[in-house]
Amino acid sequence: MDQIIINRAQQWLEGNYDTETKLKVQELLDAKSDELVDSFYKDLEFGTGGLRGIMGVGSNRMNKYTVGMTTQGLANYLIKKYPNNNNLSVAIAYDCRNNNTFFEGISADVLSANGIKVYRFDALRPTPELSYAVRHYGCQSGIVITASHNPKEYNGYKVYGEDGAQLISPDDTDVIDEVRKIQSIDDVKFIGNTSLIVDIGSELDELYTDEIKRISLNPELIEKHKDIKIVYTPIHGTGVELVPMALKKFGFQNIINIPEQDIIDGNFPTVLSPNPEEPAALAMAIEKAKAENADLVMASDPDADRVGIAVRNKENEFTLLNGNQTATLLFYYVLNQWKETWKLTGKEFIVKTVVTSELLIDIANSMDIDSYDVLTGFKYIAQIIREQEGKKQFILGGEESYGYLIGDFVRDKDAVASCCFIAETYAWAVEQGKSMEDLLADIYMEFGFYLESLKSVVRKGKAGADEIKQMMDNYRLNPPKSINGSKVVCVKDYQLQQSKNISTGDTEVIELPKSNVIQLFTEDGSKITMRPSGTEPKIKFYFGVKGELNKAEDYFKVKDSLSMKIEGIIKDLGL
């Protein structure tokens, strides 16, 4: 057992921590188990999604003290960043997670104890509404207590800036620097000032959903197809009221819920994982859709910033679409509507992440719409929106992990608005006598058949983190010369900020922030990306391949061929 870890745990026994915490720490010390190592070998740090970890005692866990120290660091940061502002304010929201109101209360108390006004929601709310609240109330920051789609033992803490977007460098590291300056929990002001805490009620729900309604592109079309049967599930989370409310404001009248999954519960009793990327998470919704003869299935994750969908195929059975496919349909529909209604002026743009389908850029290019590729994390999409504000008009952005944003009044991915636009896209397909799969086939025939897949390799704890680091080091120092029989022609290393042409040896600078991401491009047009997750103990491998679709009836034949190609790549990499 590493003595440093034991010493860190001993500090919790000797410090001004509560009795219950000390008893649990002592249990860990007595057992000297892997749990002791995992609880104390490091401090929780900000990743692509902020602070996120397993709940429990220890410096690497979500608890009263790590949340309190982080919030004190945030307060110190805000006071330093805005030295002449005597009316600092922060908005706080939380999702359905266990200990949600506890961590929200700690955050509100610490902020108010530091003289900062707090706007907090009176009940759980979607993450995108928090982003909207920050902008609406003119706050300098925002906090959401959420662990997104992680398992039930997790909780988290996302921090937002005054533009309603998650913090990026240098602000995220500046907050952490302030946290690290706190040498003791005695430096944290835990006793709140209730006079500085203001509740937010349903009035903001109305304003937020009204804003979503205003950006609908085809109200007449919706009126014509308002009876489309939509099954929606919040998977026990925050979309339970806001998504149906927004859909109805759009004009869709036939929203079917699943009572068992409308129950707010951080244990997620009806699913193994509340992740709409997982087929099992939509199983109950699909069964309901079959029973009700519904047309469309949608499911949002616990904090309602991501959405997964299922649509009927040619055999009239429900099939799941992945994040790239849903993004493709949304981008194709929205950009076509902008073009057909003469809204394009030549100063519009879209944004995607580097691991998301290149098809989105092809679609934008076909309409002379500018596009930007950014690192993984919606905060980087928001950064481009901020940089282009007043110069160009943002239309929409997306990432393969089921997150999309239409319009710029929110600065994070938004499942509430996305559900509305997915339903509107579906109505557009119906109007043409097509299914969503038919629309995809049309797109693939025009631009090429893109198929993407994701494989995650989970490695938990300190030993897992070390193994993931070793894997990335190996790819960085010794990239494969060929993959699945095709030569590697280009390697992009975002940590080194370098793109290398393997044939010539020439290099180009990647004009993006440093990030531990490596991409391999092969001669046959395949793209393989590896990236350690910033919020979970895993390394993610993203695969993208491309083929030709000359006629719609060959859709499944080409899809199967591309799927086999991805399987060949996975096998060749030994995953």
Split the chain (575 residues) into runs of 10 and give each run's mean pLDDT: 88 95 95 91 74 94 95 96 96 98 98 98 98 98 94 94 94 87 93 98 98 98 98 98 98 98 97 95 98 98 98 93 98 98 96 96 98 94 97 98 97 98 98 96 97 93 89 94 96 97 95 95 95 85 96 95 97 94
> What pLDDT is stored for residue 463 in this prediction?
86
> What pLDDT is stored for residue 285 in this prediction?
98
> What pLDDT is stored for residue 136 in this prediction?
98
Per CATH, the number for 449-572 is 3.30.310
Q: Report the distance separating Cα 80 and Cα 421, nearest Å.
A: 41
What's the pTM value of the predicted model, to 2 decimals? Answer: 0.94
Q: Report the distance separating Cα 507 and Cα 304, nearest Å.
A: 41
- Determine the distance from the C-alpha atom of residue 145 to the mean position of all C-alpha atoms in its chain, rounded to a whole number: 14
> What pLDDT is stored for residue 1 in this prediction?
61
**Count of alpha carbons within 13 Å of 41, Cβ hemisphere only?**
16
What are 308's strand-pairing partners?
A: 299
> What pLDDT is stored for residue 192 in this prediction?
98
Could you tell me if 394 and 385 are in contact, meaning their C-beta atoms sit under 8 angstroms apart?
yes
Domain(s) of CATH 3.40.120.10: residues in the chain: 42-205, 229-446
Active-site residue, 148 included:
yes
Domain(s) of CATH 3.30.310: residues in the chain: 449-572
Enter the DSSP assignment of 63: S
Pairing between β-strand 486-493 and β-strand 518-522 as defined by DSSP bridges: antiparallel
> End-to-end distance of the chain based on CA atoms, in angstroms?
31
Q: Report the distance separating Cα 15 and Cα 25, nearest Å.
A: 12
For the chain, the C-alpha Rg in angstroms (whole number) is 24
Give the Cα-Cα-Cα angle 234, 235, 237 (nearest 5 degrees).
65
**Helix count (H) and strand count (E) of the chain?**
19, 23
Q: Report the distance separating Cα 324 and Cα 542, nearest Å.
A: 11
Q: Report the distance separating Cα 46 and Cα 275, nearest Å.
A: 21
Burial pattern 421-436, b for ≥16 Cβ within 10 A else e, equals bbbbbbbbbbeeeebb
Q: Report the distance separating Cα 454 and Cα 400, nearest Å.
A: 9
Q: Which residue is associated with the tokens 């759980």? A: 124
> What pLDDT is stored for residue 49 in this prediction?
62
> What pLDDT is stored for residue 48 in this prediction?
54
Q: Report the distance separating Cα 245 and Cα 248, nearest Å.
A: 5
Q: 554 in helix, strand or coil?
A: helix
DSSP letters of 115-148? T-EEEEESS---HHHHHHHHHHHT-SEEEEE--T
Enter the DSSP assignment of 281: G
Token code pair at residue 45: 């740090």
- Amino acid 291 reads A
Per CATH, the number for 42-205 is 3.40.120.10
Token code pair at residue 122: 């009176």
What is the CATH superfamily name and number for domain 229-446?
Answer: Alpha-D-Glucose-1,6-Bisphosphate, subunit A, domain 3 (3.40.120.10)
Active-site residue, selected from the candidate residues 89, 131, 141, 148: 148
Q: Report the distance separating Cα 521 and Cα 403, nearest Å.
A: 25
